[in-house]
Amino acid sequence: MSKSSKQATWGGRFSKGPAELMLRFSESVSFDQRLALFDLQCSEAHSAMLEEVGILSTSEKEAIHAGLATLRSEIESGEFAWDMSLEDVHMNIEQVLTERVPEAAKLHTARSRNDQVATDMRLFFKAACTELQSALEAVLTALLDQAEKTQQIYIPGYTHLQRAQPVSVAHHLLAYAEMISRDLTRVAAVQDQANWCPLGSGAIAGTTLPIDRESSAQKLGFVDQDGNVRVTQNSMDAVSDRDVHLDFTYACSVIGIHLSRLAEDLILWCSSEFGFVDLPQNFCTGSSLMPQKKNPDAMELVRGKSGRVVGDLQTLLTMVKGLPLTYNRDLQEDKPPVFDALEQSLISLQVVEGVVSGMEMIQDKCAEAVADPALLATDVVDYLVQKGVPFRNAHHIIGALVALAEEKSMPLNELSLQDVQGVDEHFEADWVDCFDVVKALESREKIGMPGPNEVKSQIARLRRKLG
Ligand code: ARG
């Protein structure tokens, strides 16, 4: 078959086929073939609806459905030969189907590739969100399992990358569990947003034919929790809107940023300077030159890939901005960044799950780092506040103690009672109890604090959320 006859779906007004360069430039089948199964599903529902309203006879619909079923198995098994000269996934499928099943010449009745691709993508997003949710749940489970094991391991928490106050490793990991749990909520919101059916919007202004939009939407599962069918409400918006693409890629970007921050903490923690954690060997690599090295490449790649996903979002934002209504071919470029965002997010989540599950805290290094009594200087301030000293004065007094300890080259907690009473008369012998890390954490049992019971109840809460 010649190239121009292969372009038959829109070739009617043309006497020449496109240049080979134009075919290569404009094809999308190399990447949108990923939508093939959604496209078949869309065609099944559309043709079933056409039969219901009397546009197709039952035998025409059945012939089309049988043809679509054969295509499905060929595509699933990888046998199907995609043809770049047929531009995109939609025309590849329709052309081959029509060659085999003449009745399929009626399939594109009351439909345009514009509402077709919008519908395919919404089906894709609904499935992609489910995939993301299970990967997020696996990371959340790994974080909770690791938190379970590290409730009695204490490390300094940091601000400005300076040691600040002691926390349990569990409390630190639960901060990431909160982020992942918000990511789950965000992805669910994207999935809900995707759940509106554009089919029937046509190219831009619907159709004069008596179609039943609700019926095809229902067949495709565009239904809310109460069973109400959801169809988009403006045909021009429906074929040109790319909000779900943006929302989805934004959700992936935030996941990437959360994973990147966790990766950065682990990269620091496994350095000799910190030495808090041993990362699993199967996610580390060696150096081709330096035999002693064990590098946290997996975590560095997670950090790096998050930048790539943020770039995908940027690509989409820039593409959509300033496009006049409605469909413009620019929009064909909406797919690679979305697919990339999904793939990179999924694989990063899997890697983080592996690293978090396999990591081991190095307890003596953690204990050594958290032993600095200065980490509890704020608790000594609270001690004076409990004795009625105004906070500002108390803060000043402890500042003076820190200076005195420095002057005497001794740790804060080794100042004598006489020394500290010399600075303020409210100190009593029990002031040194402030430096007991376990007690310090036990005194922090309000919601969201690192107290051991509170940490336990947060682990339980997040486990219940996982179901
Ligand atoms: N491959 C196209 C895309 O993804 C399908 C829509 C084509 N529509 C058109 N009017 N050329 O955007």
pLDDT at 408 > cutoff 90: yes
Number of domains in the chain: 3
pLDDT at 5 > cutoff 60: no
* One domain, residues 88 and 227: no
Assigned domain for 7 exists? no
Confidence of residue 13 (pLDDT cuts 50, 70, 90): confident
Burial of 3 (0-12, 13-18, 19+ CB in 10 A): middle
Assigned domain for 100 exists? yes
Residue nearest to atom 7 of ligand 1 (CA): 113
pLDDT at 2 > cutoff 50: no
What CATH number should be reported for the domain holding residue 84?
A: 1.10.275.10
Assigned domain for 261 exists? yes
CA of 191 to the centre of ligand 1 (A): 23
Containing structural domain, residue 382: 372-435
- Which pTM does this prediction carry? 0.95
Assigned domain for 450 exists? no
User: Bridge partners of 278?
Assistant: 360
CA of 316 to the centre of ligand 1 (A): 16
Atom of ligand 1 nearest to the CA of 331: 12
What CATH number should be reported for the domain holding residue 194?
A: 1.20.200.10
* One domain, residues 89 and 47: yes
- 160 a catalytic residue: yes
Whether residue 402 contacts residue 340, with contact meaning beta carbons closer than 8 Å, is answered with no
Cβ of residue 327 lying under 6 Å from some atom of ligand 1: yes
- 426 a catalytic residue: no
Assigned domain for 218 exists? yes
Of 59, 287, 416, 457, the catalytic one is: 287
* One domain, residues 245 and 293: yes
CA of 86 to the centre of ligand 1 (A): 12
pLDDT at 443 > cutoff 80: yes
* One domain, residues 196 and 285: yes
- In testing the pocket of ligand 1, which one of 10, 332, 335 has its CB within 8 Å of the most ligand atoms? 332
pLDDT at 410 > cutoff 70: yes
* Domain end residue (candidates: 315, 347, 368): 368
* One domain, residues 364 and 378: no
- Count the Cβ atoms, other than its own, within 10 Å of residue 228: 10
Confidence of residue 7 (pLDDT cuts 50, 70, 90): low
* One domain, residues 379 and 293: no
- In testing the pocket of ligand 1, which one of 113, 115, 326 has its CB within 8 Å of the most ligand atoms? 113
Q: For the segment 260-293, what is each residue's pLDDT rounded down to a tens digit?
A: 999 999 999 999 999 999 999 999 888 888 888 8
Assigned domain for 4 exists? no
CA of 114 to the centre of ligand 1 (A): 6
* One domain, residues 205 and 324: yes
* One domain, residues 104 and 195: no
Cβ of residue 319 lying under 6 Å from some atom of ligand 1: no
> What percent of the chain clears pLDDT 70, i.e. is strictly above it?
98
Assigned domain for 285 exists? yes
Cβ of residue 88 lying under 6 Å from some atom of ligand 1: yes
* One domain, residues 207 and 163: yes
pLDDT on residue 15 = 82
Mean pLDDT, rounded, of the chain: 96
CA of 116 to the centre of ligand 1 (A): 9
pLDDT at 3 > cutoff 50: no
Mean pLDDT of 389-396: 97
* Domain end residue (candidates: 109, 141, 171): 109
Cβ of residue 112 lying under 6 Å from some atom of ligand 1: no
Mean pLDDT of 181-195: 98
* One domain, residues 268 and 343: yes
Q: For the segment 353-385, what is each residue's pLDDT rounded down to a tens digit?
A: 999 999 999 999 999 999 999 999 999 999 999
Q: For the segment 17-38, what is each residue's pLDDT rounded down to a tens digit?
A: 888 999 999 999 999 999 999 9
HEC letters along the chain: CCHHHHCCCCHHHCCCCCCHHHHHHHCCHHHHHHHHHHHHHHHHHHHHHHHHCCCCCHHHHHHHHHHHHHHHHHHHHCCCCCCHHHCCHHHHHHHHHHHHCHHHHHCCCCCCHHHHHHHHHHHHHHHHHHHHHHHHHHHHHHHHHHHHHCCCCEEEEEECCEEEEEEEHHHHHHHHHHHHHHHHHHHHHHHHHHCCECCCCCCCCCCCCCCCHHHHHHHCCCECCCCCECECCCHHHHHHCCHHHHHHHHHHHHHHHHHHHHHHHHHHHCCCCCCCEECCHHHCECCCCCCCCCECHHHHHHHHHHHHHHHHHHHHHHHHCCCCCCCCHHHHHHHHHHHHHHHHHHHHHHHHHHHHHHCEECHHHHHHHHCCHHHHHHHHHHHHHHCCCCHHHHHHHHHHHHHHHHHCCCCHHHCCHHHHHHHCCCCCHHHHHHHCHHHHHHCCCCCCCCCHHHHHHHHHHHHHHHC
Residue 360, φ and ψ in degrees, nearest 5: -125, 125
* Domain end residue (candidates: 368, 397, 417): 368
Assigned domain for 463 exists? no
pLDDT at 8 > cutoff 60: no
* One domain, residues 135 and 195: yes
Confidence of residue 122 (pLDDT cuts 50, 70, 90): very high
- In testing the pocket of ligand 1, which one of 329, 330, 334, 338 has its CB within 8 Å of the most ligand atoms? 329
Choose between 103 and 2: higher pLDDT: 103
CA of 143 to the centre of ligand 1 (A): 43
> What percent of the chain clears pLDDT 90, i.e. is strictly above it?
93
CA of 5 to the centre of ligand 1 (A): 19
What CATH number should be reported for the domain holding residue 417?
A: 1.10.40.30
pLDDT on residue 6 = 61
* Cα 128 to Cα 279: distance, rounded to the nearest angstrom: 30
Question: How long, in residues, is the chain?
Answer: 467
* One domain, residues 308 and 196: yes
Cβ of residue 331 lying under 6 Å from some atom of ligand 1: yes
pLDDT on residue 97 = 98
Confidence of residue 1 (pLDDT cuts 50, 70, 90): very low
Cβ of residue 332 lying under 6 Å from some atom of ligand 1: yes
Atom of ligand 1 nearest to the CA of 88: 1
Of 77, 160, 272, 409, the catalytic one is: 160
